[in-house]
């Protein structure tokens, strides 16, 4: 297993002449729940991440389109990490300007990644505040978690601004952890009492033989927000629920540091269901609490992807934040990182969220729906949620009312989905929410879905019933895509990579269409808590529907 390590870079002192400043992040809002715990001592060390401007952004996007389109001659001809680095590596000028700027402030303890588009530098708070004019670092606490963030916007000299996308570790607070929901139901004799691996295999038509066998196949989950899994829980889960099919009971690799204390329900759910659906496939866990209070775990994971030459083919992530809480510059750069993964043949799946269409209060009794990111990124596959029509039987599926979905207010609708989304908007025009609530020209999500309601999970050695959320459906879909990757690799075909262009060309083939139910939204007079509703073909609650595994396998084995 070849893994590229961070390496230090020499910073030569060359005087700079500055001509002005440009401010980043004009509005800094401290999210609800975080409590100020005092100013940071000037001598306290911080670790900040500098995102350097990349080259060939449009060429990267075009390359992703070509390697992901099954009708392209370039389909499946993925790039190595070295080739990606050659494509996007910041210009010599950008690297020199940023290095000189840092050195002129006495910053020399820096690491970079293989693609040279991220630098992580350690410095004192006093140096950081001089470097990033206007920043003021403070301690904040919430639920026992401590962070260092700046309470004020920062600015950099305009000579440097044109060479930086953003500086990480200043303003972004982690979103409030949405634990999967637990709910109680009355049991009925003779009927199933919740979703288990056996129930999923029955619904999606996987047999006991549908398990991994390819040696060069692997999958991963990524966990943030102080979430950890316990190996003993995974063993117990497989003892209880994995006896009818070959499986692994241990994670092959943990990247990062597992924290102590109790297992998180979210982390347990992710690992147990990607490994029972994508059974018998080597599985990695990325667990990144951050090495320092000033780090951002999600950004740390993205940096890791830019620095590892050998990665699993499928990654599932149950993480998101409100689009409007993030800067466009930050999200645009994260999209670049998603594209870098896609051109390497990596499939990134994100949960669509558990807030339906969401709701943002704009004042004076005016509301709008509230899309989530990265679910709204055009460069990932977003997974929504469903429920059984009868919660006690393996029946057809309807929408899970919490299933996140809607339209981005930042990113335009990608070409691969225009026909499908416009078809939906036209077919349900009479019953759509008011157009003031959503952006009809934005990236629409989710792309597909799976059951997200009433799961069994083992956490802290205790079997827990009735756990729900799109953090359940996402690893289930990820596991099935890993199985398909395994079959493709055995046939000498490349991994699926960025799935969406191919998924939308299937036009619902090989998926169970979900046509009943709506998800939740703003509780106001106009929409009265109702967001979008499912409809034939694609819809912004369940996407194209849920996988019919044998048919999806056949459809995705043709090229």
Buried b (16+ CB within 10 A) or exposed e, 197-224: bbbbbebbebeeebbbebeebbbbbbbb
- Cβ neighbours of residue 436 under 8 Å, at least 6 residues apart? 368
- Alpha helix positions (H), 253-364: 265-277, 297-305, 328-342
CA angle 217, 223, 228 (to 5 degrees): 105
Q: Among residues 403, 452, 471, 482, which one is catalytic?
A: 471
The rounded distance, in Å, linking the Cα atoms of 548 and 200 is 11
Numbers of helices and strands, H then E, in the chain: 14, 31
The rounded distance, in Å, linking the Cα atoms of 114 and 108 is 18
Q: Is 270 designated active site? A: yes
Q: Among residues 47, 117, 165, 270, which one is catalytic?
A: 270
Q: Is 266 designated active site? A: yes
Instruction: Classify residue 391 by burial, with Cβ atoms within 10 Å: 0-12, 13-18, 19+.
Output: middle
- Alpha helix positions (H), 69-176: 81-88, 92-104, 125-131, 158-161
Which has the closest alpha carbon to 476: 311, 278, 283, 301?
Answer: 278
Question: φ, ψ for residue 43 (rounded to 5)?
Answer: -90, -5
Q: What secondary structure letter does DSSP report for 250?
A: S
Q: Give the DSSP letter string of 420-489.
A: HHHHHHHHTGGGSPPGGGS-TTEEEE-SEEEE-SSEEEEETTEEEEEEESHHHHHHHHHHHHHHHHHHHH
Q: Among residues 47, 129, 226, 266, which one is catalytic?
A: 266
- Residues recognised as catalytic: 266, 270, 471
């Amino acid at each position: 297993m070849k893994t590229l390590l961070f390496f230090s870079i020499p910073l030569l002192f060359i005087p700079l002449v500055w001509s002005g400043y440009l401010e980043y992040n004009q509005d800094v809002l401290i999210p609800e729940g975080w409590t100020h715990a005092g100013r940071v001592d000037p001598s306290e060390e911080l670790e900040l991440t500098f995102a350097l401007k990349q080259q060939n952004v449009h060429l990267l996007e075009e390359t992703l389109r070509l390697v992901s389109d099954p009708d392209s001659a370039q389909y499946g001809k993925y790039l190595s990490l070295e080739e990606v680095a050659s494509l996007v590596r910041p210009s010599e000028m950008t690297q020199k300007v940023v290095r000189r700027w840092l050195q002129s402030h006495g910053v020399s303890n820096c690491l970079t990644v293989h693609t040279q588009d991220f630098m992580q530098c350690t410095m004192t708070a006093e140096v950081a505040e001089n470097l990033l004019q206007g920043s003021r670092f403070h301690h904040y606490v919430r639920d026992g978690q401590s962070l260092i963030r700046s309470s004020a916007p920062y600015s950099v000299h305009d000579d440097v601004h044109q060479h930086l996308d953003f500086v990480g570790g200043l303003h972004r607070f982690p979103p409030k952890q949405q634990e999967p929901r637990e709910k109680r139901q009355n049991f009925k004799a003779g009927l199933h009492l919740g979703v288990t691996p056996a129930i999923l295999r029955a619904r999606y038509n996987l047999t006991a033989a549908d398990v991994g066998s390819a040696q060069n196949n692997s999958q991963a989950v990524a966990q943030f927000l102080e979430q950890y899994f316990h190996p003993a829980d995974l063993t117990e889960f497989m003892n209880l629920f994995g006896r009818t099919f070959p499986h692994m009971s241990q994670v092959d690799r943990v990247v990062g540091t597992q924290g102590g204390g109790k297992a998180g329900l979210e982390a347990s759910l992710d690992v147990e269901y990607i490994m029972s659906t994508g059974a018998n496939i080597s599985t990695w866990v990325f667990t990144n609490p951050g090495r320092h209070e000033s780090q951002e775990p999600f950004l740390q994971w993205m940096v890791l992807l830019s620095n590892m030459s050998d990665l699993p083919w499928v990654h599932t992530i149950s993480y998101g934040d409100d689009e409007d809480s993030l800067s466009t510059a930050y999200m645009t750069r994260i999209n670049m990182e998603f594209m870098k993964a896609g051109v390497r043949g990596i499939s990134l799946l994100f949960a669509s969220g558990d807030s339906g269409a969401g709701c943002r209060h704009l004042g004076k009794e005016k509301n709008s729906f509230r899309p989530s990111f990265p679910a709204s990124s055009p460069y990932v596959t977003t997974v929504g949620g469903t429920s059984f029509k009868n919660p006690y039987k393996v029946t057809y599926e309807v929408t899970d009312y919490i299933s996140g979905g809607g339209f981005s207010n930042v990113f335009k609708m990608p070409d691969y989905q225009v026909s499908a989304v416009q078809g939906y908007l036209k077919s349900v025009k009479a019953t759509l929410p008011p157009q003031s609530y959503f952006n009809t020209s934005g990236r629409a999500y989710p792309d597909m879905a799976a059951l997200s309601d009433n799961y069994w999970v083992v956490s802290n050695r205790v079997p827990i019933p009735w756990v729900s959320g799109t953090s359940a459906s996402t690893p289930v879909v990820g596991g099935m895509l890993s199985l398909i990757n395994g079959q493709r690799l055995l046939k000498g075909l490349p991994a699926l990579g960025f799935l969406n262009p191919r998924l939308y060309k299937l036009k619902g083939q090989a998926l169970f269409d979900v046509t009943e139910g709506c998800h939740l939204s703003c509780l106001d007079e106009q929409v009265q808590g109702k967001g979008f509703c499912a409809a034939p073909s694609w819809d912004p609650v369940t996407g194209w529907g849920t996988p019919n595994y044998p048919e999806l396998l056949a459809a995705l084995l043709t090229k």
